[in-house]
Amino acid sequence: MDRAISLPMQERRANPLEGQKNVYGEPLKSCSERPLTGFFRTGYCHTGPEDVGLHTVCVEVTAEFLAFSKARGNDLSTPQPDFDFPGLKPGDRWCLCAQRWREALEAGSAPRVILGATHEATLEIVALTDLKRHAIDLA
């Protein structure tokens, strides 16, 4: 009986995307597999207790944003082989920290957003109206 109770718990832990929703309350869509993104490197901008930076905004980076991020101390364009990070180039999609996206918004350098792949937790930091103004996939 204990085994029957513990198996579903293990299955839930084995599928971290279960129950993860986007800003519309729908199942979270993939952001990018090339380069492989997400705090957990699953291709999705899902989150959990380990993700203190809240890497939940799926963006398409621009040269302007990459320069902004580098100036703020987060160089996303330089490859980091020790961390299996290829470096980003304009047009790549990436799971960005919600606070960094908000900083970029306030500085006029916010990259475009893929709402279907942006986690609902982002809404704790950024207003949906701001995300929609920068959305690629707004219907």
pLDDT score for 9: 35
Residue from 55, 50, 51 nearest 74 by CA: 55
Residue 31 has pLDDT above 50, yes or no: yes
Query: Going by C-beta distance under 8 Å and a sequence separation of 6 or more, which residues neighbour residue 24?
Result: 115, 116
CA distance 132 to 113: 8
- Most confident by average pLDDT, 15-19, 34-38, 56-60: 56-60
Q: Kindly state the helix (H) or strand (E) to which residue 8 belongs, with its residue range.
A: helix 2-14
Q: Kindly state the helix (H) or strand (E) to which residue 96 belongs, with its residue range.
A: strand 93-97
pLDDT score for 11: 36
CA distance 16 to 25: 17
User: Listing from the earlier edge strand, what are the strands of the sheet with 112-113?
Assistant: 93-97, 55-60, 112-113
Q: What is the mean pLDDT of the chain?
A: 89
pLDDT score for 8: 38
pLDDT score for 17: 75
Query: Going by C-beta distance under 8 Å and a sequence separation of 6 or more, which residues neighbour residue 25?
Result: 120
Do residues 125 and 83 make contact, with C-beta atoms less than 8 angstroms apart? no
- 96-114 pLDDT, tens per residue? 999 999 999 999 999 999 9
pLDDT score for 4: 38
**C-alpha of 5 from chain center:** 33
pLDDT score for 107: 96
- 39-71 pLDDT, tens per residue? 999 999 999 999 999 999 999 999 999 999 999
Residue 73 has pLDDT above 90, yes or no: yes
Residue type (1 letter), 47: T
* Mean pLDDT score, 67-88: 92
3-state secondary structure of 99: helix
Classify residue 42 by its DSSP letter. S
pLDDT score for 83: 80
